[in-house]
A and B are shown apart, each in its own frame.
Chain A
Amino acid sequence: MKSGSNLERLLESGQFAVTAEAGPPKGSSPKVVQRKGELLKLCCDALNVTDNQTAIVRMSSLSGCVLLKEMGMEPVLQMVVRDRNRLALQSDILGAAALGIRNVLCLSGDHQKFGNHPTAKGVYDIDSIQFIQMVKAMRDEHKFLNGEEISGDVPFFIGAAANPFADPFEFRVTRLAKKVNAGADFIQTQGIFDMPKFIEWMKMVRDRGLDKRTHILAGLIPIKSVGMARYMRNNVSGLSVPKEIVDRMADAKEPKEEGVKICLETIEQLKEVDGIHGIHIMAVAWEDIVSRIVEEAGLMPRPVV
């Protein structure tokens, strides 16, 4: 075991994993995180705590992780390289290890321009792939980026993101391979709406044998309304929302039900795709739907490993 995390044990034992996202609040109340933890506790194997997502200032990811851990949940610490240089990243990794966090997701982060401090100076000292490599060396070689020795263990199950839908399409798998070579133990993908494109991407992933070297969790975003579908199609960078999905949401008498239906259909299709080891549900501001989706997808109860 690299980290001994629940997520690692589950994936290494060949079981289908379910993770979800729990964004911390724009405030200091622990209750928001705790409420999301309660909602998601029984239906997920681990919970991602986002790191100033969409570049909007929120409670720190590490604090959110500690709050979830205190409740007996297993957190995934999301970390972006937008806000921290190599010193701060390594320091937070050590702190997270000391606090018993065992999963980390290494990300570039949305550009600060999109957030609520759009003129902030972006750090981007290292990029997400260099970050993965750095955490791997901290874990496996007990070495800082500069080669100095680290005292103590840094046991992390290292994750990365992949977007099968961004351009250039033919280069996306090369970049995934780079992440896997750098040390990504698991991958959480961008939300999937364009199934044919995702299937094509997964074929390229399998052709390179990458599904055997990392655990790919397919991303899902439950849609609440046609407005949300249109917003994601037009405003969220790197998302591909086909017209068919937008039309279905527009025509639906009960849009929320239709959103759940789309999500469940996607999960059924994903179960048939070779090389998918789990799902990652990003129900932004709709966390209470996750347990129903997991239940109706036939993925309950979650296995104990």
Chain B
Amino acid sequence: MIIAEQKALPEIQDMVSSYRKILIVGCGTCMTFCSAGGPEEVNKLANELVAENKDMVIDKTTTPRQCTEKFIDRLKDKVGDYEAILSMACGNGVQAVASRFPDKPVLPALNTQFIGVEKEKGVWTENCLACGDCILWRTGGVCPVTRCAKSLLNGACGGASEGNCEVSKDRPCAWQEIYHALKRLNMLHYLKGKPQVKDWPVHPGRVVREDLREIEATRVD
């Protein structure tokens, strides 16, 4: 899932300072699971903003997903009543809502961090950079592009120590994890292959599925 963190309150207050009536929209999928922008966080943020500014009118809602058009559409009868929307979605959701309501300021209440998992209660770690060319089959299920601080495809570098990355002792060295995983799986030979250079994707990304487009084009409703 996508992991985000709420912005510091003063920055949010600054963003909404010129509006008197706003709608806070939570997101029911990733942001709820990572406790950054679900119904609970929407309530908490609304209370904090009102506590700081009693004149502000704040309404609240949460959609199942802000990145999906049919769920964004559920907001269409509401947004007209507000001067701005304060979105508690990831950057993807914020942009999808902004694109659907081009005449309404849509403000981000969160800082989107990464695609990752909850490692333990209250700790999330990054796992995937969405690089477009997955090599996990030969790295023991550990992604060096994401989890090595230098994205080395032929690690470990000389900085790894006691199982940790040189960048921080609270980050395991991905190449140590890869080495141990491949050893466990009896796949160490993958480490000896000729180094291949990675093709990095062009951003912004765009995926086109002609098969789906053809089905859509021939569909008779």
Contact = CB atoms under 8 A, between A and B. Distances in A.
Interface string A255-274: 00000000000000000000
A299 interface: no
B195 A166 contact: no
Interface size class of B (residues with CB under 8 A): 20 to 34
A190 B166 CA distance: 15
A126 B154 CA distance: 10
Interface stretch (A43-51, A60-68, A91-99, A108-116): A108-116
A129 B179 CA distance: 17
A258 B160 CA distance: 29
A293 interface: no
B160 A166 contact: yes
Question: Interface centre among A130, A145, A181, by most B CB within 10 Å?
Answer: A130
Given A166-B161, A238-B161, A182 B195 contact: yes
A86 B198 CA distance: 11
A125 B131 CA distance: 12
A129 B195 contact: yes
B160 A178 contact: no
B194 to A, nearest CB: 8
A82 B150 contact: yes
A237 interface: yes
A126 B197 CA distance: 6
Interface size class of A (residues with CB under 8 A): 35 or more
A231 interface: no
Nearest to A133: B195
Contacts of B159: 110-111, 163, 166, 237-238
A111 B162 contact: no
Contacts of A237: 158-161, 166
Contact of B154 (A86, A130, A161, A162): A130
A122 interface: yes
A174 interface: yes
Interface string A157-185: 00001110011100100110110011000
A201 interface: no
B197 A178 contact: no
A156 B176 CA distance: 32
A194 interface: no
A174 B191 contact: yes
Interface in B194-209: 194-198, 200
5 contacts: A122-B149, A127-B155, A166-B161, A167-B156, A238-B160
B157 interface: yes
Interface in A101-150: 108-111, 113-114, 122, 124-130, 133-134, 145
B160 A122 contact: no
Contacts of A178: 154, 191-192, 195
Contacts of B99: none
B113 interface: no
A167 B191 CA distance: 15
A190 B160 CA distance: 13
Contact of A127 (B150, B160, B176): B150
A122 B195 contact: no
Given A133-B195, A175-B154, A177-B192, 4 more contacts: A128-B152, A167-B161, A167-B163, A237-B158
A190 B158 CA distance: 8
A225 B150 CA distance: 32
B110 to A, nearest CB: 20
A134 B158 CA distance: 21
A161 to B, nearest CB: 6
Nearest to A80: B150
A108 B195 CA distance: 15
A168 B191 CA distance: 13
B156 A145 contact: no
Given A86-B197, A113-B167, A174-B191, A108 B157 contact: yes
A167 B173 contact: yes
Contacts of A177: 192
A167 B162 CA distance: 7
Contacts of B179: 168, 171
A124 B151 contact: yes
